[in-house]
Amino acid sequence: MEHLKGFSAVNLDADAAAAALEETLQQFGPVGQSRLATFQDALEYLLPIKSFTTRYAVMGLGEWSILLTDMRGANCYVEAFSISRARHCKAIGLFLRQKRRELHVFENERKVRQVQSLSDGNRWYFREEGVLQPFEDAEECLRRKKQDRLSTEALRHYFQTYTDLTIPDWKNTSFTHIFGLARCTKGLRVAISEFETVE
């Protein structure tokens, strides 16, 4: 479940989002696409978590689609940005972990906001780029201790305000359509590792 605390969303239905992502991935070779019936099917499609992205799940929630990947420590914000540029739509990426909290916002074919608050060994790191967005609370970026900035509660509120969706309760959310996309990994110079995963 910790892996599911990093994901992105694009302002397209699942069919359009999957098609846009497939176009991006085809630059690197053939892409396999699967229709998946349930979130459990999507989870089984992605697992185990790997050291390099081999698969994506695109899950529709009305006018938005959620993007997940099988790569450890990834939240698909790069792919969301690519879809945003190709289809001229809004996109948002999040990490909602206690020691890694991030916000990425894309609009009008550009990155408009990035905020990161994360633990880096013994120190806490904070970075922000772009103009404070209307849905943000400025106090979240100004707290004295970096570890107190950009709380997970704030990120949940930002996501809801921006998308009109709540953070998915993964196993109990009814997704409209779910697509699995498998990218080409031919020619990789480093072997892909798999990590033990506990649901």
Tens of pLDDT, residue by residue over 93-130, are 999 999 999 999 999 889 999 999 999 888 999 999 99
Which pLDDT value is given to residue 47?
A: 95
In a domain, 88, yes or no: yes
Answer positive or negative: Cα dihedral of 172, 173, 176, 182. Answer: negative
Q: What is the largest CA-CA distance in the chain?
A: 49
* Range(s) of the domain holding residue 63: 3-182
Q: What's the CA angle centered on 101, arms 165 and 92, to 5 degrees?
A: 40
Instruction: Tell me the average pLDDT of the chain.
Output: 95
Query: What pLDDT digit, counting tens, does each position of 133-164 carry?
Result: 999 999 999 999 999 999 999 999 999 999 99
* Mean pLDDT for the stretch of residues 7-19: 98
Neighbours of 149 (CB within 10 A): 20
Unique residue bearing structure tokens 């990947």? 69
In a domain, 39, yes or no: yes
In a domain, 157, yes or no: yes
> Which one, of 151, 156, 103, lies nearest residue 131 by Cα?
103
Q: Read out DSSP for 101-116?
A: EEEEEEETTEEEEEEE
In a domain, 152, yes or no: yes
In a domain, 197, yes or no: no
Q: 147 exposed, middle or buried (CB, 10 Å; 0-12, 13-18, 19+)?
A: middle
Higher pLDDT, 195 or 69: 69
In a domain, 198, yes or no: no
The confidence band for 199, taking pLDDT boundaries of 50, 70 and 90, is low
Give 71's strand partners. Answer: 50
In a domain, 18, yes or no: yes
In a domain, 154, yes or no: yes
Tally of structural domains, the chain: 1
- Strands 100-107, 55-61: pairing kind: unpaired
* Mean pLDDT for the stretch of residues 181-193: 88
